[in-house]
Amino acid sequence: MKKINATDLVCVNDYCTSHHLIVRLDYACTDNLLFGEVIYRPDAALWLHKDLARVVLCAAQNFYDHHGLRLVVFDGLRTVEAQAKMLTTRRVLDNPHWLEKPALLSSPGSGGHPRAMAVDVTLMDEAGDLLDMGTPFDYLATSPHPAENPAHRDYQGHVPEIMRNRDLLTRGMLDAAETVSCPLWPLPQEWWDFRLPPDVYGQYAPLSEGDLLPAQKLMA
């Protein structure tokens, strides 16, 4: 597998002012919806692979310029150690069925996040309110089936306003990806997750804390 260099990572926090975006690193807080306890260190920053960062920055600028909306970024790079810590949280230990196939949570090293090639986003209006997407970020359904998972992109039970909001987010992200000539795949079961396609991120080894520069590390 190819190795991702630490110098290939972009700190999204550095662009909050210039690109009118907001970083809310949920896993650095105790009140994150899914786990309910801190995963990252309190001063952790949000990092993305440079290719995905170009998409996010382009989308953020477009959302602000054309719709008066701010892109809110919840998570990007999630190291192997961070993924492992998630699986040892009390909430996961109390729900071992979450890890049974088809698993609702990723195993350490799998997916786009440990390669900084997946990003979790939503939109905020001028009043500071998040647009209604039907579920909060990190909503975990008991079933991955589209008809039973309100977070799934193909779920049909939402009112038109929610569907319009989701479509706005998805179209904006895909348009930005086309603008910067970067392939982008909206993860079907999570409306907030956009990532480089599996055939792209699958070429790279996942990142561990030891692969990162001191300022890039997520864990205490």
Q: From CA 96, how far away is CA 105, in angstroms rounded?
A: 11
Q: What is the pLDDT of residue 98?
A: 85
Question: Is the separation of the CB atoms in 120 and 75 below 8 Å?
Answer: yes
Q: From CA 40, how far away is CA 216, in angstroms rounded?
A: 11
The first and second tokens of residue 151, run together, are: 């977070």
Q: What is the pLDDT of residue 182?
A: 99
Q: From CA 58, how far away is CA 161, in angstroms rounded?
A: 25
pLDDT digits (tens, 9 = 90+) for 97-109: 888 877 788 999 9
Mean pLDDT score, 25-36: 92
Q: What is the pLDDT of residue 56?
A: 99
Mean pLDDT score, 137-165: 94
Long-range contacts of 135-140 (CB under 8 A, 24+ apart): 135/191, 136/33, 137/26, 137/33, 137/74, 137/192, 138/26, 138/32, 138/33, 138/34, 138/74, 138/192, 139/33, 140/34, 140/98, 140/104
What ranges do the domains of the chain cover? 6-211
Mean predicted lDDT score pLDDT of the chain: 96
The first and second tokens of residue 8, run together, are: 């290939």
Q: What is the pLDDT of residue 100?
A: 83
Amino acid making up residue 76? G
Query: Is pLDDT of 10 > 90?
Result: yes
Confidence of residue 52 (pLDDT cuts 50, 70, 90): very high
User: pTM for this one?
Assistant: 0.96
Strands 22-23 and 70-75 turn out to be: parallel
Out of 6-15, 69-78, 86-95, pick the least confident: 86-95
CATH (residue range 6-211): 3.30.1380.10
> In which region does residue 116 sit, left (phi positive, over 0), alpha (psi from -120 to 50) or beta (all else)?
left
For the chain, give the percent of residues with pLDDT over 70: 100
Residues in the chain: 220
